[in-house]
Amino acid sequence: MPVRVRIAPSPTGDPHVGTAYIALFNYCFAKHEGGSFVLRIEDTDRTRSTPESEQAILRALRWVGLVWDEGPDVGGPFGPYRQSERGEIYRRHADVLLERGRAYRCFCTAERLGELREDQKLAKLPPGYDGRCRKLAAEEGAARAAAGEVHVVRLAMPREGTTVFTDRLRGPLEFENAKIDDQVLLKSDGFPTYHLANVVDDHLMEITHVIRAEEWISSTPKHVVLYDAFGWQAPEFVHMPLLRNADRSKISKRKNPVSLDYYEGAGILSETLLNFLGLMGWSFGGDREKFTLPEMIEAFDFARVSLGGPVFDLEKLSWLNGLYLRELSDDAFLARLRAWRLSDEHLRRLVPLLRERVRRLDEFIPSAEFFLSGDLDLARCGVNLVPKGRGAKETGTVLAAIVDEYETIRGNWTVAALEACSRAFAEQQAWKTKELFMALRVAATGRTMSPPLFESMELLGKEQVRRRLRLAADFLLAQPQPQPPKA
């Protein structure tokens, strides 16, 4: 059987570095085996999925340079590749499970489920559905559904025994069925949950190996039960170790930039990023750290993955990038600079913001410096971060909070959106807009005087702005607090 693998990102946020990491391992395995690499969009969460996020993910993955053989944009023999376009398929499959008694209709209201959760919490029991509707006769369920009663479809998990599957990297893993919830498969809006859609699609798309992050291990026994209920053979499972922050916690935007857009904006070459992600949990052999994508494909073997929890170290990434940059010819280096921030397109956006501020052309580069550099020298501009009458700690707290607030601006990082969000935030914090805007200006640009704040932030881009504000917040929160005077 030809090898077929997939990545299945959910378009609910910015393009995540973890997606590129998992894509790389799928890609290398597929190409090593002469197989196909598929991109599927898992947009079944209607409240969180957005077309902007899907576009951003596709764009970032194209920048990374892992070319998919089939996907929503390029098509392929197993489409559609966007789950929101496959609703009928999932409903049909849910019906099969209902007919076989491997799933049942559940009419419990949100209110009842809320009470159940509360009771379980009080009794210190693990949360989970208590199976009330599992006792309903299938005909009664069907009749109530036909009469239009709102319901979901749940998986009838076996109550006894265990579910076992073999993970390529971890060997056999065993789960007690009694501890696994009767998972919702089809929601009351008729949309499938991740579990149903994922299993149905992996089967129909003839995926042979599911290579995904370790955080999905706990879902896999439910998937194995679903494969069994459909009478299908499950694919092989490979759960890759999660990327970690330096303190070994799961990689998070709190401690590392996680958006691929950040790395592109920081001038990390895509080949460096792939090499670096390849070093995460995988060894080329010997102590070789620098290798190209074709070399990794050639040498690819899951036996070289270690489960230690690879640390995503920005310093090491920069070091590796330096090696790649130094190898380029002068012309190639120049081409990279141009493709990065010195393109006509980018300069054309800088000129209107800066031209009023320079008297001579030789003032242009200094005035543009904060648009073309990475992290700012906070020790130098730090004192100006704190508005008059405010303390370092409260300013740090406010800046940290607005970083989260800006996270909600998706695919819409514009002057208007930034201004509306920032004004509303100032009001909510009971800060004068003048105070907030000054703190933002210094944190984002390193200056007390700059081109218009929101225009500058729009041009700097979401990732750069969020990182600078986050670093400024950390800087302020780490300041020694003034001691009360001794009595």
Residues of this chain that interact with ligand GLU (CB under 6 A) are 8-10, 42, 194, 198, 212, 216
Question: What is the nearest approach in angstroms of ligand GLU to the Cβ of residue 44?
Answer: 9
Q: Could you tell me if 114 and 213 are in contact, meaning their C-beta atoms sit under 8 angstroms apart?
A: no
Within 13 Å and on the Cβ side, how many CA atoms surround 22? 25
Residues 6+ apart with CB under 8 A from 177: 157, 158, 159, 160, 161, 162, 163, 221, 225
Report d(CA 252, CA 244) in Å as an integer: 8
Q: Could you tell me if 42 and 8 are in contact, meaning their C-beta atoms sit under 8 angstroms apart?
A: yes
Nearest to 199 by CA among 231, 156, 171, 161: 231
Question: What is the nearest approach in angstroms of ligand GLU to the Cβ of residue 210?
Answer: 6
Q: Which residues pair with 174 in a beta bridge?
A: 164
Nearest to 239 by CA among 219, 202, 213, 221: 213
Residues 6+ apart with CB under 8 A from 61: 15, 19, 20, 23, 39, 68, 260
Q: Which is nearer to ligand GLU, 105 or 195 (CB)?
A: 195
Report d(CA 58, CA 61) in Å as an integer: 5
Residues 6+ apart with CB under 8 A from 350: 368, 371, 459
SS3 call for 202: helix
The secondary structure of the chain in percent helix, strand, coil, rounded to multiples of 5, reads 55, 10, 35
Q: Which residues pair with 163 in a beta bridge?
A: 175
Question: What is the nearest approach in angstroms of ligand GLU to the Cβ of residue 258?
Answer: 13
Q: Which is nearer to ligand GLU, 210 or 317 (CB)?
A: 210
Tokens of 261: 């857009």
Q: Which is nearer to ligand GLU, 19 or 272 (CB)?
A: 19
Q: Which pairing describes strands 162-167 and 171-176: parallel, antiparallel, or unpaired?
A: antiparallel
- Tokens 């041009």 locate to 459
- Tokens 């949309």 locate to 191
Q: Which of 124, 253, 290, 316 is catalytic?
A: 253
Q: Could you tell me if 210 and 237 are in contact, meaning their C-beta atoms sit under 8 angstroms apart?
A: yes
SS3 call for 434: helix
Q: What is the DSSP string of 57-99?
A: HHHHHHHHT---SBBTTTB-TT---BGGG-HHHHHHHHHHHHH
Q: Which is nearer to ligand GLU, 10 or 275 (CB)?
A: 10
C-alpha 351, offset from chain centre: 34
> Residues 296, 298, 302, CA angle at the centre, nearest 5°?
70
| Torsion 463-468-473-479 (CA) sign | positive
Whether 135 sits among the annotated catalytic residues: the reply is no
Which sequence positions are flagged as catalytic? Answer: 253
